[in-house]
């Protein structure tokens, strides 16, 4: 009996054993294939990065080599600089550097990209490169040579010693960095060099992109936790007993980015309502009531009306809805400040309306808080008909409106906003009310 049983089981077990070996071999092969593919991608991205930084240095040199009156070649050089810097940024993002300090180099490349783009898009014939901008380009030319040389040194070590990027990824992930990892040490050296470069004059349009919103930008004195609690209770329409349940904490205490967070839990079943306030003046930045939303019974038009009533009830100035996002259960409306018939787009906020009962369940007002201030609005130099003349003849205008927007140079400009259709899609086209040139185009859902 045992002989017959073994005669049956032995071939079966042999097949299972051989199958497990084959399965393990296949798994090993697939793993090796994935590792090889990842290593090839890392190597390609790194060598492309080194090449594009070297080309960036050359392009900056070419731009500086031509006569100051050669605006056409300067524009071409600046566009190429922007393109090469963007390529370098993309290749950095493909490398396993998330855990490695390389932020200074990334920020430096970002500023070069923005500087070259914003300089190239303007009319250099009317507004040529200033002495300050030429000085910045010369400094960038020298600094890019330094970075390129450092990356070339790392590249030589990678090629000469057959270094693997997968080892870098493993070392960074396990925090077990080998002492002689030339790739990690090389990138640390590059980032340290960049951090020691003196601050450049990037111009107001680029500098403003990196200015963080701090309490210094807001007037008024610092608020107390009790004042924030009272503001939150008033916003939520709570009585004194309920107000005591509001928990207020200060975020980033002692820093220029400090703010207050208030939370209120209506009952055990609900998630807490959250509100964020500025440190100075206790202005509402953000509100969210993450309650369950029932069956949709409120139309988009009614939801829009409810949102406008909510803003008016809470003391916001005249606001106008300019767009909405229909999420079925909710609708999110973007409102901008309206003054003297002009839409002020920088001072915008968003309101989320629950479509079961029309209640406002969220608001995002950080842009409004920092951009709402007294403005002396300019008068348009062009008439509406003159601005229309610059539009595509096939563009069918449905409505028009004066609007204040920020252009590519981050400057506020008065425009005629034309909304209409072309090529089967709906667009907003903003035409400068002084020059007649298109400042911005936005496709609507």
pLDDT digits (tens, 9 = 90+) for 178-196: 445 677 777 888 888 888 8
Res. 45: pLDDT tops 60: yes
Res. 70: pLDDT tops 90: no
When pLDDT is averaged across residues 208-225 and rounded to a whole number, the result is 65
pLDDT 10s digits, 73-100? 888 999 999 999 889 888 888 877 665 6
* Helix/strand/coil (H/E/C) assignment for every residue in 213-262: CCHHHCCCCECCHHHHHHHHHHHHCCCHHHHCCCEEEEECCCCCCCEEEE
The Cα 303–Cα 324 span in angstroms is 10
**Mean pLDDT for the chain?**
83
**% the chain with pLDDT above 70:** 82
When pLDDT is averaged across residues 194-206 and rounded to a whole number, the result is 74
The Cα 193–Cα 45 span in angstroms is 22
Res. 171: pLDDT tops 80: no
* Residue 400: per-residue pLDDT: 94
When pLDDT is averaged across residues 147-175 and rounded to a whole number, the result is 75
* Residue 160: per-residue pLDDT: 76
Residue 74 is encoded by which pair of tokens?
């300067």
Res. 129: pLDDT tops 60: yes
**Exposed/middle/buried for 106, CB within 10 Å: 0-12, 13-18, 19+?**
middle
pLDDT 10s digits, 100-112? 667 788 888 888 8
Sequence-distant (6+) residues with CB within 8 A of 360 are 306, 307, 310, 351, 352, 353, 354
CB 246 within 8 A of CB 201: no
* Residue 204: per-residue pLDDT: 62
Higher pLDDT, 40 or 340: 340
* pTM, full prediction: 0.68
* Residue 182: per-residue pLDDT: 72
* Residue 33: per-residue pLDDT: 65
Pairing mode of beta strands 360-364, 284-288: antiparallel
pLDDT 10s digits, 233-258? 999 999 988 889 999 998 877 666 67
* Residue 179: per-residue pLDDT: 47
**% the chain with pLDDT above 90:** 36
Res. 340: pLDDT tops 50: yes
When pLDDT is averaged across residues 206-225 and rounded to a whole number, the result is 65
Res. 403: pLDDT tops 80: yes
* Residue 126: per-residue pLDDT: 81
Q: Number of C-alpha atoms within 13 angstroms, CB side, residue 346?
A: 16
Of 77-81, 153-157, 221-225, 408-412, which one has max mean pLDDT? 77-81
Residue 260 is encoded by which pair of tokens?
């207050």
* Residue 349: per-residue pLDDT: 94
* Residue 109: per-residue pLDDT: 87
* Residue 207: per-residue pLDDT: 64
Sequence-distant (6+) residues with CB within 8 A of 272 are 263, 264, 265
Sequence-distant (6+) residues with CB within 8 A of 370 are 213, 217, 218
**Exposed/middle/buried for 342, CB within 10 Å: 0-12, 13-18, 19+?**
buried
* Residue 7: per-residue pLDDT: 58
Res. 304: pLDDT tops 90: yes
Q: What is the CA radius of gyration of the chain?
A: 30
* Residue 128: per-residue pLDDT: 87
* Residue 93: per-residue pLDDT: 82
* Residue 320: per-residue pLDDT: 93
- What pLDDT band is residue 16 in, cutting at 50, 70 and 90? low
Length of the chain measured in residues:
445
CB 347 within 8 A of CB 372: yes
Res. 12: pLDDT tops 70: no
């Amino acid at each position: 009996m045992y002989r017959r049983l073994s005669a049956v089981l032995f071939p079966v077990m042999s097949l299972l054993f051989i199958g497990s070996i084959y399965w393990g071999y296949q798994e090993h092969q697939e793993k090796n294939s994935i590792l090889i593919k990842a290593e090839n991608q890392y190597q390609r991205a790194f060598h492309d990065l080194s090449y594009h930084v070297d080309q960036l240095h050359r392009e900056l040199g070419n731009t500086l080599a031509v006569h100051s009156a050669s605006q056409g070649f300067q524009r071409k050089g600046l566009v190429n600089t922007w393109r090469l810097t963007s390529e370098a940024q993309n290749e950095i993002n493909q490398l396993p550097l998330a855990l490695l300090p390389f932020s200074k180099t990334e920020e430096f490349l970002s500023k070069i990209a923005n500087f070259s783009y914003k300089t190239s898009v303007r009319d250099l014939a009317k507004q040529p490169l200033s002495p300050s901008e030429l000085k910045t380009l010369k400094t960038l030319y020298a600094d890019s040579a330094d970075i390129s040389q450092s990356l070339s040194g790392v590249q030589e070590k990678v090629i000469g010693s057959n270094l693997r990027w997968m080892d870098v990824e493993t070392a960074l992930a396990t925090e077990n960095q080998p002492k002689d990892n030339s790739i990690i040490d090389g990138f640390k050296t590059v980032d340290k060099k960049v951090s020691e470069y003196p601050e450049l004059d990037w111009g107001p349009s680029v500098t403003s992109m990196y200015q963080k919103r701090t309490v210094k930008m807001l007037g008024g004195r610092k608020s107390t936790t009790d004042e924030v609690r009272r503001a939150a209770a008033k916003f939520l329409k709570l009585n004194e007993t309920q107000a005591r349940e509001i928990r207020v904490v200060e975020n980033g205490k002692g820093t220029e980015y400090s703010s207050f967070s208030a939370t209120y839990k209506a009952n055990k079943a609900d998630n807490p309502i959250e509100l964020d306030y500025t440190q100075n003046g206790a202005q509402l930045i953000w509100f969210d009531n993450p309650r369950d939303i029932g069956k949709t019974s409120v139309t988009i038009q009614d939801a829009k009306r409810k949102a406008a009533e909510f803003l008016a009830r809470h003391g916001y100035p005249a606001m106008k809805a300019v767009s909405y996002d229909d999420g079925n259960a909710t609708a999110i409306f973007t409102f901008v400040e309206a003054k003297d018939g002009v839409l002020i787009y920088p001072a915008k906020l968003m309101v989320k309306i629950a479509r079961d009962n029309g209640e406002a369940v969220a608001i995002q007002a950080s842009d409004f808080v920092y951009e709402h201030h007294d403005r002396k609005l300019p008068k348009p130099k062009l008439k509406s008909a003159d601005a229309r003349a610059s539009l595509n003849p096939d563009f069918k205008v449905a409505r028009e409106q004066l609007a204040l927007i920020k252009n590519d140079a981050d400057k506020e400009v008065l425009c005629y906003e034309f909304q209409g259709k072309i090529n089967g899609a709906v667009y907003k086209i903003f035409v400068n009310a002084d020059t007649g040139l298109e400042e911005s185009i936005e496709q609507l859902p």
